[in-house]
Amino acid sequence: MVNTEGQSSKLLLMKQLLNIPPEDLTKDTLLAHFLEQARITACGYCNVEILEPLYDGTICDLAVYLYQNRDSVGYLSKRQGERSVAFAETELPSNIMTALPLPKIHVMGGSG
């Protein structure tokens, strides 16, 4: 279950980082989507199901990164007529990776 109070504070922080006025509600659904994608991405990277609230700021940073790069994430190159774009970043940005806890390693038990 999503903590709506925590979600709204993260949404406000994200708006501040993006210079969107708090009273502007037109992008809230889209921003909430990227907050959820950032949470899923960070949990997947750390190999955990839940991250402590200590990492909420980092989740917001990742959500802003995803939002700002939503048209280019995943592209290695893109060509439109005379224009060509190469997108090099295929992993999480290094400043965000270092702010997250180290990934947990699950050890598989063997029988025998």
pLDDT, tens digit (0-9, with 9 covering 90-100), for 40-69: 999 988 989 999 999 999 999 999 999 998
Question: Quick one: pLDDT at residue 1?
Answer: 38
d(C-alpha 18, C-alpha 12), whole Å: 10
The interaxial angle of helices 56-68 and 4-17, nearest 10 deg, is 50
- What pTM, to 2 d.p., does this model score? 0.72
Question: Quick one: pLDDT at residue 76?
Answer: 52
d(C-alpha 100, C-alpha 45), whole Å: 9
Question: Quick one: pLDDT at residue 25?
Answer: 95
pLDDT tens-digit series, residues 93-105: 888 888 888 777 7
Mean pLDDT of the chain, nearest integer:
81
The confidence band for 2, taking pLDDT boundaries of 50, 70 and 90, is very low
Give the E-state strand segments of the chain in sequence order: 77-80, 83-86
